[in-house]
Structure 1
Amino acid sequence: MDKERLLSAIAEDLKKIEAALGAVQASQVPFINEVSHYILFAGGKRLRPLLTVLCARLCGYEDEQIYRLSVLFEYLHAATLLHDDVVDGAEFRRGRKAAHNLWGNQATILVGDYLYARALRIAVEEGNFDILKVVTQTTLLMSEGEVLQLLNCDNTGLTEKEYEDVIFRKTAALISAACECGGIMAGVSDKEREALREFGRHLGLAFQITDDLLDYLGVSEETGKDIGTDFKEGKVTLPLLYTLNQASESDRTRLLSLLRDTEPSRETFREAVEIINHYRGFEYTRQRAEVEVEKALSHLFLFSQNPTRDLLENLTRYILVRRK
């Protein structure tokens, strides 16, 4: 399924998700609404709420209530974006100035906290203890992910296992929870619930690995953020991590020198890309994403073949070819 057909297939669900985001009760503090609206309606992909809807439908749940539940995962995602951009000192998010560059760090962090709380309120209002348990546990994991990412910045001794632990908490845990909660709403068995959770976990890992690849090989106009941001901030993601482990002593020393340059330039980044490419760091990263996609797909085999499963499979495969 090509991109246009995929977008057509999910268009109605995305429309209802947008409506649900707009319908959730706003804060009584206008400033919070202003900042929240800025990040929530800046052109996000809505992947997480969409997965909640599709996983519920896969299991036979068709109630419109699923859209209201689904948006809590967009709230959680938006909260982490606000926090991450402050920590990273990011200039842009989704092609626009990052919120902290407009309203300051303190206000942006506090609005992020509000969005976390708003998501938890939606989970409480659903009245389902299993959903609340999954959402609160996921919030804890995401908070750990933010801390681990900060601690591991410029950690050139990071192992692949440690890298995976970070991206699980940073990205995959929320996607996994979005899928699992769709199943919980449908009243699935423990076995089916686990399959959806693991589907989301591996999909989330593939998504973040691909994101790390796009930071080196993407196009700013398509990704909505500066290319090479992770490298310039000293973040050790998989392309760099693999290359540091494979490179000769001289190339490793040079790559570390480029990474630690206090005033990195386009030429600095370009040279780093050449070294990573020489040691097939990008190829390896792409292969790791492909492995995670296949693992994700394997967990869908538990469910009967139907149009929704086909759509989830196509959406999963699209992760590998996306450009933003």
Structure 2
Amino acid sequence: MDKETLLKAVSPELTRIEGEMQANFASYVPFINEVSQYILFAGGKRLRPLLMVLAAKLFGCSKPEVYRVSVVFEYLHAATLLHDDVVDEAHMRRGRAAARKVWGNQAVILVGDFLYSKAIRILVEHGDLRMLEAVSETTVLMSEGEVLQLLNTDNISATEAEYMEVIRRKTAVLIAAACECGALIAGASDEAVAALKGYGLNLGLAFQIVDDLLDYLGATGEMGKEIGNDFKEGKVTLPLILALEAAQGPDRERLIELIKSEETSREAFYEAVSLIKRYRGFERTRQRAEDLVSRAKAHLAPLPETPEKNILSGIAGYVLSRRH
């Protein structure tokens, strides 16, 4: 399924999700509304709420409550973006100045906390304990993932397994929870819930791996943020890990020197890109993402043959071809 066909198929769902987001994020404090609106309505993909809606519709459930609860996953995602940008000292987000550059770190952290709290409040009002348990466990794992990533900064001895554990917690579990909750709200069987959670987990891992690949090979205009940020911040992601495994002698020493350097110029970044490419770091990273997408699709196999199943399979394919 190509991108245009996919977007056309999900357009009605995205419109309803957008309407629910507009209706539900409001706060008594106008400043919170201003910052929330800045991050929430800056052109995000709405992937996470969309996945919940599609998972529910896969089992014939399209009641209004599905759309209301789905926004929980966009609020949680937006909260992590606000907090991430403070930790990373980011300058750009979604093609414009990061919120922290507009309002400062303290305000942005507090608004991120508000979005977290709003998400939990919506779940409590919905009243499904299984969904609340899934999301609360997810937020714990996400927090741990962020801390693990911080601890791994400049850690050139980080392994592929350690990297995978970071991105599982940091990114994949939220996507998995969105799929899981869609199945739960539809009253699907335990086997179906597990299948969709497995789909989401593998999809989320592939999504983050492609994101890390694009940080080296993307274009700033398409990404909506500066490329090379991970490298500049000393984040040891999969392309670098795989290149360091294969590199030897002076090339390996030079890669380590570049990632550890306090002053990272564009020339140094592109030198690192050249070295990673020489040792097939990008090629092998791409293969890992492809393998995970195949696993994600395999989890869909036992589920009912519906248009939503085809769309979920198409989304997995889109993850590999996306450019931002």
TM bucket normalised to smaller: over 0.9
1:25: how far off?
5.1
Matches within 5 A, 1:52-63: 52-63=52-63
In the alignment, structure 1 residue 284 sits paired with structure 2 residue 295: no
Matches within 5 A, 1:142-291: 142-291=142-291
1:304: how far off?
1.9
- Paired with 2:304 and 2:101, the residues of 1 have a C-alpha distance of 48
- 1:120-151: CA deviation from partner (whole Å, max 9, x where unpaired): 00110111000110011111111111111111
Q: Say which SS state the counterpart of residue 320 (structure 1) adopts.
A: helix
- 1:68-98: CA deviation from partner (whole Å, max 9, x where unpaired): 0000000000000000000000010001111
1:64: how far off?
2.0
Letter in 2 for 1:30: P
Taking a change above 3 Å as real, the CA distance of residues 172 and 265 of structure 1, as seen in their structure-2 partners, is: same
Letter in 2 for 1:313: S
CA contact (8 A) 2:25 2:118 kept: no
- Paired with 1:12 and 1:214, the residues of 2 have a C-alpha distance of 29
- Paired with 1:126 and 1:147, the residues of 2 have a C-alpha distance of 30
- 1:15-70: CA deviation from partner (whole Å, max 9, x where unpaired): 00000000115110111111111000010000000000000011221212111000
- 1:274-300: CA deviation from partner (whole Å, max 9, x where unpaired): 000000100000000000000000000
> What is aligned with 2:323?
323
Letter in 2 for 1:295: R
Q: Say which SS state the counterpart of residue 193 (structure 1) adopts.
A: helix
- Paired with 1:59 and 1:278, the residues of 2 have a C-alpha distance of 47
- Paired with 1:49 and 1:26, the residues of 2 have a C-alpha distance of 18
Structure 1 segments unaligned to the other structure (5+ residues): none
- Paired with 2:99 and 2:279, the residues of 1 have a C-alpha distance of 37
- Paired with 1:258 and 1:133, the residues of 2 have a C-alpha distance of 43
TM-score where L is the length of structure 1: 0.99
Number of residue pairs the alignment of both structures matches: 324
- 1:209-250: CA deviation from partner (whole Å, max 9, x where unpaired): 000000000011101011111001100000001111110121
Structure 2 segments unaligned to the other structure (5+ residues): none
Q: Which contiguous aligned blocks of 4+ residues in structure 1 show a shift greater than 2 angstroms?
A: none
Q: CA RMSD in A?
A: 0.7
Letter in 2 for 1:299: H
> What is aligned with 1:24?
24
- Paired with 1:71 and 1:321, the residues of 2 have a C-alpha distance of 25
1:270: how far off?
0.7
CA contact (8 A) 2:25 2:33 kept: no
Q: Say which SS state the counterpart of residue 302 (structure 1) adopts.
A: coil
1:263: how far off?
1.4
- Paired with 1:188 and 1:267, the residues of 2 have a C-alpha distance of 53
> What is aligned with 2:76?
76
Matches within 5 A, 1:275-314: 275-314=275-314
- Paired with 1:2 and 1:171, the residues of 2 have a C-alpha distance of 24
Taking a change above 3 Å as real, the CA distance of residues 150 and 25 of structure 1, as seen in their structure-2 partners, is: closer
- 1:95-121: CA deviation from partner (whole Å, max 9, x where unpaired): 111111111111111111111101000
